Amino acid sequence: MEDFIKPLSSELENIYFIEGFQRARYPYSNSMLIGDSLIDTGISHRRLKKLKTHFPIKKVFLTHWHEDHISGNYLLKGAEFHCHSKDKIPIENVDKMIPLYNVKNTPIEDELNSLIKLLRMQNIKVDTLIDDNNIFNIGDQLKLKVIFTPGHTAGHCAYYELNSKIAFLGDIDLTKYPYYGNLDASLIDFEES
């Protein structure tokens, strides 16, 4: 097994922490694999390709639309994608990220476009819209609960596996940088989450 794939539960098999490249420093993120379901795809293209050789990934649950969490979506085009309705538009159309970051006609626009190109980001169809308290069965043993945690983005969600009591928070706790200036971010919602 690859060293970036780390089992999280000795009692329940098939729950893994997937460490993003460069310890998930931007433009990468961490992921969690629960059975055949992956939370976020930004671990790096190379790591995602290796992960797919060990595990079939049938479902992808996205915490939010930021590029460091969705950059590997295109490598899983056969999977069923899940996200909150408020984050659907930039996931299905990555060109919508620029207006949401409010960097149009600034030097940052060129940098962000270069990063999107470098990460080979592509539009991906969202198959299932999720909302707070939705529960998804993953295989026979595992149940994934959606926890709506807006603020970082309007549709940010965390996930909680009910049997193992393991949570994946996405970007709900960014100690150094809890808030970004994207237009759909809200400090009030972030504090309430």
- Helices (H) and strands (E) counted in the chain, each on its own, are 7, 11
Query: Looking at residue 20, what DSSP letter applies?
Result: P
Q: Please give the average per-residue pLDDT across 56-83, as a whole number.
A: 97
Nearest residue to 183 via CA among 157, 159, 155, 158: 155
Backbone angles phi, psi at 189, to 5 degrees: -60, -40
Least confident piece of the model among 47-51, 53-57, 89-93, 183-187: 183-187
Assess whether pLDDT exceeds 80 at residue 65: yes
Tens of pLDDT along 143-186?
999 999 999 999 999 999 999 999 999 998 766 665 667 899 88
Number of structural domains found in the chain:
1
Query: In this predicted structure, what is the pLDDT of residue 178?
Result: 59
Residue with tokens 């994608």: 81
Tens of pLDDT along 2-41?
999 999 978 778 999 999 999 999 999 999 999 999 999 9
Cβ–Cβ < 8 Å for 62, 76? no
Tens of pLDDT along 113-132?
999 999 999 999 999 999 99
d(Cα 72, Cα 46) in Å, to the nearest integer? Answer: 10
Element (H, E) at 40: none
Amino acid at 77: K
Q: What is the pTM of this model?
A: 0.95
Question: What's the distance, Cα to Cα, between the start and end of the chain in Å?
Answer: 36
Query: Looking at residue 143, what DSSP letter applies?
Result: E
Q: What is the CATH number of the domain that holds 42?
A: 3.60.15.10
Q: Are strands 5-7 and 37-39 parallel, antiparallel or unpaired?
A: unpaired
Query: In this predicted structure, what is the pLDDT of residue 113?
Result: 93
Q: Please give the average per-residue pLDDT across 64-75, as a whole number.
A: 97
**Residues spanned by the domain of 169:** 5-192
Q: Which residues lie below 8 Å from residue 80, measured CB to CB, with a gap of 6+?
A: 58, 59, 60, 127, 128
